[in-house]
Amino acid sequence: LEATPTQLTYQRHLAACHRMLGYLWVQRKSRDQAIESYETARKALEELQTRSPDVLQYSSDLSGVYMNLGLQLKLRGDGEKALQYIEQSVDLLRELSEQAAQVPNYRLDLGVALREVGKMLATAGEIELAGDRLQESKSALSNLVSEDPVNEKYTIELGLTIDSIAGLESAEVGN
């Protein structure tokens, strides 16, 4: 069955509500409820993306849900599942960055997600792979800073990645 535009819009709004509920649960420090809300949003957005893969906004929204879900799972102590979701976010953001290179937020989000993957891999002892992801993050964010050097957010995110690289390098030296 073909979904009507009204049904797709309703489903996207429903997913957005659950994503916002997840955020609100995070603010209230109710991690399990946040994860439940993000899971509901994920399911709705995955269905939307499957039905309409050419609508970049669905992929963008889904990458954000994957990232939020991954971060909450990480905080709950489920690092393996968290890493899977954040890597799914990275995969979507890579696609979005290629399909719509003119949208800097996709590349910014990619740089941030790559940094998070790098940090998680470092924690898991995957030092070489962690370094690779952090260098990818640095490259993506450096390109944004080069394009728009007055954008403070790009500079801050790049600095956080550089700090993560330095932390990884000092941990390697310490071993």
Q: Which residues of 101-137 are buried (b: 16+ CB within 10 A; e: fewer)?
A: eeebebbbbbbbbbbbbbbbbbeeebeeebbebbebb
pLDDT given at position 6: 79
- Note the pLDDT of residue 1: 42
Q: For residue 1, what are its two tokens?
A: 């069955």
The two structure tokens encoding residue 26 = 């995070």
Q: How many CA atoms lie within 13 A of 59 on its CB side?
A: 21
pLDDT of residue 8: 83
Per-residue pLDDT in tens (0 to 9) along the chain, 175 residues: 456 777 888 889 999 999 999 999 999 999 999 999 999 999 999 999 999 999 999 999 999 999 999 999 999 999 999 999 999 999 999 999 999 999 999 999 999 999 999 999 999 999 999 999 999 999 999 999 999 999 999 999 999 999 999 999 887 766 5
Quote helix, strand, coil % in the chain, to nearest 5: 85, 0, 15
Q: What is the pTM of this model?
A: 0.90
Burial of 37 per CB tally in 10 Å (0-12, 13-18, 19+): buried
